[in-house]
Amino acid sequence: MTGTLGTTSTEKHNLYLPAGMTGTLGTTSTEKDNLYLPAGMTGTLGTTSTEKDNLYLPAGMVGALGTTSTEKHNLYLPAGMTGALGTTSTEKHNLYLPAGMTGALGTTSTEKHNLYLPAGMTGALGTTSTEKHNLYLPAGMTGALT
């Protein structure tokens, strides 16, 4: 699939995006169980999610991810992700960062339970956290932590 995908979903259980997708994805989801993003996705992802259980990001994703999440249980970031991640999360249970992540991570978290940082992470991490329970730092991390 190539081009642009824009979707608005209400009370929808699963949204499966295709492998090898290129271009831009923009989606607004309310009360949606799972959003599966494709392996090998390139380009830009922008998503706004409310009361969503899981957001699965693809292995080998390149480019930029920008997401705003409210009352979302899990945000899974892909293994081998490259590029930049910017995320604002409110009342979110877990943010899983990938093993072997490179590039820069900037995140602002409020009332978030866990932030898991990957083993072997390189680059810079900048995070602002309020009422957050745990920050897990990886073995063998290099670079800067702010």
Whole-angstrom CA distances from 44 to 19, 33, 69 are 15, 22, 17
pTM of the model: 0.66
Q: Which domain holds residue 111?
A: 14-139
Residue 45: predicted pLDDT? 75
Tell me phi and psi for residue 96, to 5 degrees. -100, 120
Does a structural domain hold residue 4? no
Does a structural domain hold residue 7? no
Does a structural domain hold residue 3? no
In whole angstroms, what is the distance from residue 129 CA to residue 32 CA? 26
Does a structural domain hold residue 145? no
Does a structural domain hold residue 48? yes
Residue 105: predicted pLDDT? 76
Does a structural domain hold residue 18? yes
- Into how many domains does the chain fold? 1
Write out pLDDT tens, residues 47-77.
777 767 777 776 777 777 777 777 777 777 7
- Categorise residue 19: left if φ over 0, alpha if ψ from -120 to 50, beta otherwise: beta
In the predicted model, what is the mean pLDDT of residues 4-29? 71
